[in-house]
Structure 1
Amino acid sequence: MHDEWSEAVDVRTQAADRLLDAATSGKPCPPVRDLVGSVRDGYAVQEINTRRALQEGRRLVGRKVGMTNAEVRGRFGIVEPDFGMLFQDRCHLDGQPIPIGDFLQPRVEGEVAFVLKEDLEGGPFTTAEVIRAVDFALAAIEVADSRIEGWDITPADTIADNASSGAFVLGSDPRDLRGLDLRSAAMTMTRNGEQVSSGSGAQVMEHPLNALVWLAGAAGRSAFPMRAGDVVLTGTLGPFVEAVSGDVFEVRIDGLGSVRAAFG
């Protein structure tokens, strides 16, 4: 039994090494599903590279929720979304240049972000408990990225790869939840002034708060529960758009204002 456990740990480390090498070299790697056989293994690999990042001095500042669209989950044959870690050094300022060379295969998404004022440890939680823990909401852009060649991913692949997290940009107009209708809030995204994506809060598990409630339960008893001040990206409100150097994206969300990502 001990040998089997040691072998499993070694295989997970190999998967973590493959993904880290891809991120460091800037060259996408083959999928890791030959090493990672399940969602549980995927999170174990994610944790290995999370701990490595923290040991290097990077600072954990939140989470991203992925696979929040029902159609996308159906294509992958899964029921639940997934989550990854957000680090401070991957947070960019609204409208300021973002080096395109930081990414391998960037895709831009418009999202609702929540910022917590209370810890969410333990759980599961009710919607009321989660609402009470939210300080404010913001318009946000996620730059999803994959270390895996051609985005050839299964759920285990993307979870191991930190839920395909790349970077994020937060708007600067915080809004209290009171009076916001985030379920029907419309999102439009333009690239260089031309509309390229649209959607609404209903595409995120029927309401962005549902994604946060799910995440609170999933992460609350993990090695890294969410803390006051953490940012949560709740999932894309519409189709993603690939980014290249020179692109300027602007996302507008009803009730939350706008946010821009400019790729240099």
Structure 2
Amino acid sequence: MTLKQTLMAATLFVTCVTAVHADCLTDAQAAELLAHYVARTPAPNPVNLSDADGACTRGKFNQLLAQRMGKVVGYKAGLTNPAVQKRFNTDKPVWGKLYEGMVLPSGASVEAAFGARALYEADMLVRVKSAAINQAKTPEEVLDAIDQVIPFIELPDLMVQAPPQLNGAGVTAINVGARLGVAGTPLPVPVYRGERYALLKALADMNVSLTDGAGARLGGGKGSDILEHPLNAVVWLAGALQKEGITLQPGDLVSLGSFSALLPPKAGLSVTATYDGLPGAAPVRVTFK
């Protein structure tokens, strides 16, 4: 091959690579994303984002969300369930921010079209007690640094025109679909060692179920479906946040991820999440209108 042919081939290669690689969304595109979020209309899919592009876009989107939503009250770990990872063609979790006003009380009535691509899932929150959580490497160490376990039905909004085409970076870019959620009665973390050990085991072994108003099962899963133990989601999240200069603080809420498939709501549907095998955990309920 001549030098001219080599240069032409290299140019063609760069052109092809550029054609399939997208960058972080521009400020204007991030503003458009926010406008769709506010209007609850589907936004164009972010296409071919790298993990870095997704994180950069999430940062821009969250800057705009913060101006509108106010205080960050916590974080959500997403794609912590391998079955859900498979749906989005990825093998690792992602994270987003939770804002004031996103977490509603159990029994709340919510519009079925609360977002552009509204969904619901069985989830769980924990509340941070100590900044030591940022060094936690095991579920036991996480339990030492939280003071509440909270039943939770998350109401995410995948907000794009074609959610099935989202990959992990695309989910990151839209702040992991954070929109709303319904929280039940907090379950305090016990003081005594034996009771704490029993709680750790129960969290892994529990069966989480979603049922409708007539008691028909809609979906669910086991505690261990989330990274083999749901508190491993906090270990992952704390590490991921620290890579971006963020640390969990006392009072922060952490959403652990989905124990169920992501399901579409419809008007008139009432959904209850129960945590069988988790002593003291009261059901949490949402009604769609």
Which category of TM-score, normalised to the shorter sequence, fits these structures?
A: 0.7 to 0.9
The Cα offsets for residues 21-57 of structure 1, whole Å up to 9 and x where unpaired, read as 21122220221125xx211211111111222222335
240, 251, 270: which is aligned to 1:229?
251
Q: Which residue of 1 aligns with 2:265?
A: 243
204, 222, 240: which is aligned to 1:218?
240
Task: Answer yes or no: is 1:204 the counterpart of 2:226.
Answer: yes
Q: Which residue of 2 aligns with 1:21?
A: 35
**SS of structure 2 residue aligned to 1:55:** helix
Return the TM-score normalized by structure 1: 0.88
Q: Which runs of 4+ in 1 moved over 6 A?
A: none
116, 130, 138: which is aligned to 1:104?
116
Query: Do 1:61 and 1:87's aligned partners in 2 also have CA atoms closer than 8 Å?
Result: yes
Deviation at 1:88, TM superposition (A): 1.6
CA RMSD of aligned residues (A): 2.2
Are residues 235 and 57 of structure 1, via their aligned partners in 2, closer, same or farther at CA, if it must alter by over 3 Å? Answer: closer
Deviation at 1:101, TM superposition (A): 4.1
CA distance in 2, matches of 1:75, 1:24: 26
Are residues 250 and 88 of structure 1, via their aligned partners in 2, closer, same or farther at CA, if it must alter by over 3 Å? Answer: same
Q: Which residue of 2 aligns with 1:71?
A: 83
Q: Which residue of 1 aligns with 2:157?
A: 145
Q: Which residue of 2 aligns with 1:174?
A: 187
The Cα offsets for residues 46-74 of structure 1, whole Å up to 9 and x where unpaired, read as 11122222233511111111111223334
Deviation at 1:119, TM superposition (A): 2.5
Q: Which residue of 1 aligns with 2:178?
A: 165
Query: Do 1:15 and 1:45's aligned partners in 2 also have CA atoms closer than 8 Å?
Result: no
Return the TM-score normalized by structure 2: 0.80
Deviation at 1:175, TM superposition (A): 3.3
Q: Which residue of 1 aligns with 2:274?
A: 252
CA distance in 2, matches of 1:218, 1:77: 20
Deviation at 1:76, TM superposition (A): 4.1
Deviation at 1:221, TM superposition (A): 3.9
The Cα offsets for residues 185-216 of structure 1, whole Å up to 9 and x where unpaired, read as 00110123221112111111111011111001
Query: Do 2:133 and 2:145's aligned partners in 1 also have CA atoms closer than 8 Å?
Result: no
Query: Do 2:134 and 2:248's aligned partners in 1 also have CA atoms closer than 8 Å?
Result: no
Deviation at 1:238, TM superposition (A): 1.8
CA distance in 2, matches of 1:76, 1:56: 29
CA distance in 2, matches of 1:111, 1:154: 21
Are residues 189 and 44 of structure 1, via their aligned partners in 2, closer, same or farther at CA, if it must alter by over 3 Å? Answer: same
Unaligned runs of 5+ in 2: 1-21, 191-195
User: How many residues align structurally?
Assistant: 254
**SS of structure 2 residue aligned to 1:228:** coil
CA distance in 1, matches of 2:63, 2:252: 18
Deviation at 1:223, TM superposition (A): 4.3
Query: Do 2:115 and 2:179's aligned partners in 1 also have CA atoms closer than 8 Å?
Result: yes
**SS of structure 2 residue aligned to 1:208:** coil
Query: Do 2:121 and 2:261's aligned partners in 1 also have CA atoms closer than 8 Å?
Result: yes
Within 5 A, what are the aligned runs for 1:113-132?
Answer: 113-119=125-131, 123=135, 125-127=136-138, 128-132=140-144
Q: Which residue of 2 aligns with 1:3?
A: none
Are residues 56 and 145 of structure 1, via their aligned partners in 2, closer, same or farther at CA, if it must alter by over 3 Å? Answer: closer
Task: Answer yes or no: is 1:261 the counterpart of 2:286.
Answer: yes
CA distance in 1, matches of 2:153, 2:143: 22
Same amino acid, percent of matched pairs: 25
Give the AA of the match of 1:162. N
Q: Quick check: 178-187 or 48-57, which moved more? A: 48-57
Deviation at 1:121, TM superposition (A): 7.6
Q: Which residue of 2 aligns with 1:49?
A: 61
**SS of structure 2 residue aligned to 1:226:** coil
Are residues 76 and 150 of structure 1, via their aligned partners in 2, closer, same or farther at CA, if it must alter by over 3 Å? Answer: closer
